[in-house]
Chains A and B, each alone.
Chain A
């Protein structure tokens, strides 16, 4: 019911029914105004539930917004803003909210207590995962995801400040004013649509003007300060190391294409003040969950801020003075108050509505909406007709963020709740209600004092002027659970009631942590934000311990649920990872080459020609180009590192197993690099361009790792080495020219053609390519006479096109990754498929490359007995010799007669290819004592693809074993 007709309304729907609401007000307010009581079904028992609170702590009124891929589940109706055309749906009910079939769970509730499922569905064991759990999960739950990709935009952002103030109630505003006026760099964040906190919801004066007006003036003043940033609709969700806070912003305004829905902020602050206020806690009386039973302060909030009366005849039930406000505010607004029930004996209340002191609510009636309550008063039971019960068991300071770095809060007896433990989060100071200071005057005072202290820390000179405000006492006598028949709900979101907690205690789950897991209290989106204090008070009672002795479970981030979409913002589609494109990318794509990912790089898989319908046809042809004519391949993705300095050679000697200081200028050498633990890290070549100048190449996969490794060596292990490293991977476009006609091809682009003996195998140096200085290396990864030619990247595209055109005229052409792989497997050259992090130089047959004339990283570790054990898996070649020619990578190797089971595995395959050169299925792999077993026929079994083949163990070099083709 609206107290006054609003000026401007818009239409929205709830479960298809049209309603009107004021733009920007919570959907919860609009539904209450329309007299909608039943808004949700509970998690487990499908109990009818209504709106309970007026903030992000809402446990009942979770709804789904929108349809299809854009549907968003579990949105709090108390935080969702009314907008024209908004579509809202209830959750966890079928076929409808009013007639929910699964409400049968509620009738069966005596059997469905905590632990029921685990105890009941134990046998037969396999049924749990396949049958029981899916069925139970379908019956219990909240909203569901659509399963479709979400097209909505989300974003992430960073913000920085000297002082982050979390919450803009009286304490937060006063802190921001104090620090802001002193000139501090401030961010003030609040999750509400407007700043002011409870000042917007209460009837009370500050400095003689209404609290809401004072708040509006304060916000206006802050908005005018250049040094203050105001962030509304922004919930600070977590406190992390080094002054970093996570915060979720619901982006304001109507939903539009291209506009982000939410923004996940990472705010870095030198200091922070927590002004998060307090959450009102329920009282556990029988059937305290009917639609229409709400938190007392929420009822006032709807009346005072949004002009909506949540009921026609309201009763109020509380155990402290603050709850009386609800009754007085309702009367002032013209709403009938049926009764004020105070559980305390020692209070005198003057009012013109019925007052019952020393009384308790012991029962409620009404299936879909509250109709009446029963109270016990002076030994008698009395029934009161009422459609809304405002309850308050007291206030719990919002200590949540102070627990995010593993500290527990401290129990304070006089307010019967927890307060933050000092220094719980370094740099975060609590002030106001979250620190147990509940009156407005105390909040203003603490906010100003803490902000002034921190401003002084920042070298500023703050002035503290605190306005005059209400300083009423709180005076609470704890009331947790009321005796009586019927379930007394503690955790509304997880359907946990008093009996569940007592059952946990009875079954010896007495620790608060065990109770939580046994009952599920404090789990799920709510994370016990509202229920923890009440739950452990009940547990304390059941176990006969005090509350401080019982302790509390902790509060973990996030403070409110954070959508994965906002945390992963920008990472959909191509945002997932940067794309690294070579200079030949466009030319390759133009030739129809499918591009495959190699780390972040994209490389051509093969270059299809007309008439070729299968990648193998293209691949076989490209292999033929290289073996018989000439092929061109972009190898720019290999890591290239420029190394200069007096100790450049010394650095290489230290990181490579073999000697580089003896390498002549104008020559390159193959090198093997070990990790500290003696396993192979990477391989590649280093070419010497000057006495103090080398260019190292790494594999594509390990380029970043090797660069980091070299930095580590120079900065940490050997700062004495005077050498400088710089990546030149991006600077040079580099192409392999491989095959018998490679020199012919090369000479078509060189200004000064080279002769047969000018560039022997492993020679390197500068050359002129059409007037541009390039670098030439006589190195081969195919076993053929081959070169690599590098030019500055700006010329890469044109050189690639030129080389490919010339190669084609020589009967060759471009080749891609598939052919490159076949060529190197035919030659037994390793890649990271073989040096996968668990293999040693010994395993790959290169232990003789570990020079004993000098020290190098990994040298000692590589000699550990376990790493040179002759029983280790050793690199071998495998050739298909049976009927099945197809070999697969990742398959296991077995002796012919052995059963193909795990314990009999003798090794595995790492790389496979069909070799058109040898017309055979080839593989590289690792086999126990493999080097001694050449000639043996064993069995390859791929359990996953169900392929079995007989293979002959042989030397990994299948083709041209003496290497004559590359040298010739």
Chain B
């Protein structure tokens, strides 16, 4: 388990009928457009993570004036990378969605629950996931993942 720090996270919510222009503008700025629902995309400079209805998180500084509501979220999220051969088993203790490799592939992302917390989960590798939770709940996030990992290891 390691902490992931993204220097900039902006939420981008395109206004009515402006999703395509917003995506195009974004592509011009960071080389990535808005990802499909349930998908996260990245390049060397930035990442774009779908975050719900009409909502994306963009890990980069962007300006989409008039196209989308852009809100600074850089300090709002605690992000953990969790990886290892037992990672799917550990997350299955806490997360009520199917995260197995053939159902939740690299680049898949979902807004879901982890224990009692609402989180975003993205598969970032064959045995690696990133979990985003509210900053204020960071300690609980670590505690939950730790005890789930202990339970799996004890088997």
**Which residues of chain A have a CB within 8 Å of any CB of chain B?**
153, 155-160, 251-253, 256, 258-260, 266, 268, 570, 574-575, 577-582, 600-601, 642, 644-646, 715, 722, 724, 726-732, 792-794
Contact = CB atoms under 8 A, between A and B. Distances in A.
Nearest to A579: B140
B134 interface: yes
A145 to B, nearest CB: 23
A794 B140 contact: no
25 contacts: A157-B93, A158-B92, A158-B95, A158-B96, A159-B92, A160-B103, A260-B151, A260-B155, A578-B116, A578-B140, A579-B140, A580-B136, A580-B137, A582-B136, A601-B136, A642-B71, A722-B15, A722-B16, A724-B55, A726-B71, A730-B75, A730-B76, A792-B72, A793-B75, A794-B74
B92 A259 contact: no
Given A155-B151, A580-B136, A580-B137, A726 B69 contact: yes
B71 A728 contact: yes
B155 A251 contact: yes
A579 B69 contact: no
Given A578-B116, A579-B139, A724 B13 contact: yes
Contacts of A253: 155
B140 to A, nearest CB: 4
Given A574-B143, A575-B144, A792-B75, A642 B69 contact: yes
B135 interface: yes
Contacts of A729: 76
B20 interface: no
Given A260-B154, A570-B144, A581-B139, A726 B115 contact: no
A786 to B, nearest CB: 24
Contact of A156 (B55, B76, B93): B93
B154 A258 contact: yes
Interface in B69-102: 69-77, 92-93, 95-98, 100
A698 to B, nearest CB: 16
Contact of B147 (A158, A570, A577, A726): A570
Most buried by B among A570, A578, A600: A578
A578 B95 contact: no
Nearest to A711: B53
B89 to A, nearest CB: 8
B19 to A, nearest CB: 12
Contacts of B144: 570, 575
Contact of B75 (A258, A260, A794): A794
Interface string B114-154: 01110000000000000000111111100110011011001
A735 to B, nearest CB: 15
Given A259-B155, A601-B136, 20 more contacts: A153-B154, A157-B92, A256-B154, A258-B154, A259-B154, A260-B154, A266-B96, A268-B98, A575-B147, A578-B115, A578-B116, A580-B137, A642-B71, A644-B69, A644-B71, A722-B15, A726-B69, A726-B71, A726-B73, A730-B77
A158 B143 CA distance: 19
Contact of A731 (B75, B92, B139, B147): B75
Contact of B15 (A259, A575, A646, A794): A646
B108 to A, nearest CB: 14
B27 interface: no
B109 interface: no
A256 B154 CA distance: 8
A640 to B, nearest CB: 10
A920 to B, nearest CB: 37
Interface string B24-65: 000000000000000000000000000001110000000000
Contacts of A731: 71-76
A211 B13 CA distance: 63
A153 B135 CA distance: 28
A792 B10 CA distance: 13
B11 interface: yes
A600 B136 CA distance: 10
Contacts of B135: 730, 793
A729 B54 CA distance: 20
A646 B66 CA distance: 9
A794 B5 CA distance: 12
Nearest to B115: A570
Contacts of A794: 74-75
A155 B93 contact: yes
Nearest to B78: A730
Contacts of B134: 580, 730
Nearest to B91: A158
A446 B72 CA distance: 60
Contacts of A160: 98, 100, 103
B136 A581 contact: yes
A575 B96 contact: no
A339 B136 CA distance: 74
B142 to A, nearest CB: 11
A266 B103 CA distance: 18
Nearest to B14: A724
A717 B36 CA distance: 26
Nearest to A244: B96
A145 B42 CA distance: 55
Nearest 8 pairs of A and B residues by beta carbon: A644-B69, A259-B154, A724-B69, A730-B76, A793-B75, A724-B13, A160-B98, A580-B136
B15 A645 contact: yes
A562 B55 CA distance: 41
A730 B144 CA distance: 20
A727 B13 CA distance: 12
Nearest to B53: A715
A157 B70 CA distance: 37
Most buried by B among A574, A601, A726, A792: A726
A792 B96 contact: no
A160 B151 CA distance: 19
A570 B147 CA distance: 8
Nearest to A704: B118
B93 A575 contact: no
Most buried by A among B75, B103, B144: B75
Contacts of A582: 136
A715 B147 CA distance: 38
Nearest to B5: A794
A91 B117 CA distance: 41
A731 B9 CA distance: 10
Contacts of A575: 115, 143-144, 147
A869 B140 CA distance: 48
B46 to A, nearest CB: 19
A811 B70 CA distance: 41
Contacts of B54: 724
Contact of A793 (B11, B76, B140): B76
Nearest to B89: A157
A715 B53 CA distance: 10
Nearest to A154: B151
Contacts of A574: 140, 143
Contacts of B138: 581
A727 B73 CA distance: 9
A718 to B, nearest CB: 12
Contacts of A266: 96
Nearest to B52: A711
Contacts of A792: 72, 74-75
A798 B137 CA distance: 20
B69 A577 contact: no
A730 B136 contact: yes
Nearest to B68: A724
Nearest to B138: A581
Contacts of B53: 715
Nearest to B11: A726
A570 B96 CA distance: 15
Given A258-B150, A579-B137, A724 B15 contact: yes
A579 B133 CA distance: 12
Contacts of A646: 15
Most buried by A among B74, B136, B151: B136
Given A160-B103, A266-B96, A153 B151 contact: yes
